[in-house]
């Protein structure tokens, strides 16, 4: 990571989002080594990227991390993803204070049609999307483009820091 950012040099913004399939297991069946690998990508990867990118970010730049609504609304089998998301949100607030005046925020997406769900069969994935859509106030599952607008907003909006912006179609409300 250090060598990567050294090659890039100065930058305006850093967005960190990891999109591997979710690691969902009950506590009884939990594979600790696999759980550690999930933390390596989503939490430690974010922290390493911030550590090596932050000194290179120009004035008025920003860092935006990625969390998710499961940090506040976990389900059974979500112990590892929900823990990682909660850790990212705490990291966001802490770094906003430590790295000030550099702005640090996070985006917390809800269910989106992305490769995140590729570990499910197509039929199970579509069933999940239909089930979630029926419960949500906006009556649809989000697309990556819905959330991309939030990352752009946080890069352009120069007065927000330490915030976690939820983009979930109202999913946490129901």
- Known catalytic residues are 67
Strand order across the 103-109 sheet = 11-15, 57-66, 103-109, 164-167
The CA distance from 96 to 90, in Å, is: 10
Tokens of 11: 């930058």
User: Cα torsion for 35, 146, 106, 37, to the nearest 10°?
Assistant: 10
């Amino acid at each position: 990571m250090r060598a990567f950012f050294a090659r890039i040099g100065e930058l305006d913004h850093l967005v960190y989002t990891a999109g591997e399939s979710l690691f969902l297991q009950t506590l009884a069946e939990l594979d600790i080594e696999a759980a550690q690998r999930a933390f390596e990508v989503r939490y430690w990867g974010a922290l390493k990227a911030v550590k090596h990118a932050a000194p290179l970010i120009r004035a008025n730049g920003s860092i935006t991390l990625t969390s998710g609504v499961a940090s506040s609304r976990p389900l059974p089998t979500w112990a590892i993803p929900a823990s990682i998301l909660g850790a990212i949100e705490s990291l966001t607030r802490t770094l906003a204070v430590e790295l000030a005046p550099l702005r640090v925020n996070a985006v917390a997406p809800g269910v989106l049609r992305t490769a995140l769900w590729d570990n499910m069969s197509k039929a199970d994935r579509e069933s999940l999307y239909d089930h979630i859509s029926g419960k949500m106030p906006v009556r649809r599952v989000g697309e990556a483009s819905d959330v991309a607008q939030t990352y752009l907003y946080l890069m352009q909006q120069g007065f927000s820091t330490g915030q976690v912006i939820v983009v979930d179609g109202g999913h946490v409300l129901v």
